[in-house]
A = this chain, B = another copy of it.
């Protein structure tokens, strides 16, 4: 039987390599080597390289959805947005490779894992959009959700990749400042 720990090791190794080099430049051999398992074990646990990427995306989106939904629960308006943004920044901090892959893949269409990427967009952009819609009927809520998600994703990755000595609060403060603009004077 496939051990869950082996699967997690394979997914973590694959996410690190794909985040660094891109999907096509990463081979199953590379993934096996990095995970410290036999190539056969990779194929035993996941049918193909595309299936591994699917699993990385699904694991990431699961975590993102879960944290954003629970951050939103019982809140509305700016308060909900601030807590959802904080949850999303936590996911970027804890799953930086997933976030990098997301940034790389979210606007590519026609790839095999398009559906999983669509689920991430739905989880992130649409959740923000739903909260923004009643606050700002004058704006296109979906584009606004995209803008908020973009500010979280890029500020979060900028932090993790180039300024990781900064505290979490500095990133959150920046996103909160922008979110404040959605409250009509």
Contacts and interface: CB of A to CB of B under 8 A. Distances in A.
B125 A143 contact: no
Interface of A: 19-25, 100, 103-110, 125, 136, 138-140, 142-144, 146-155, 157-159, 161, 163, 166, 170-171, 173-175, 177-182
Given A148-B151, A177-B181, 19 more contacts: A22-B23, A24-B25, A103-B106, A106-B154, A109-B161, A138-B173, A139-B173, A144-B155, A146-B155, A146-B157, A146-B158, A146-B174, A147-B175, A147-B178, A148-B178, A177-B182, A178-B178, A178-B181, A178-B182
B158 A143 contact: yes
A61 to B, nearest CB: 16
23 contacts: A22-B22, A22-B23, A22-B24, A24-B25, A103-B103, A103-B107, A106-B157, A140-B170, A140-B173, A140-B174, A143-B158, A143-B170, A144-B155, A144-B174, A147-B175, A147-B178, A148-B151, A150-B150, A150-B155, A150-B158, A179-B181, A180-B181, A181-B182
A143 B109 CA distance: 29
Contacts of A150: 150-155, 158
Nearest to A149: B154
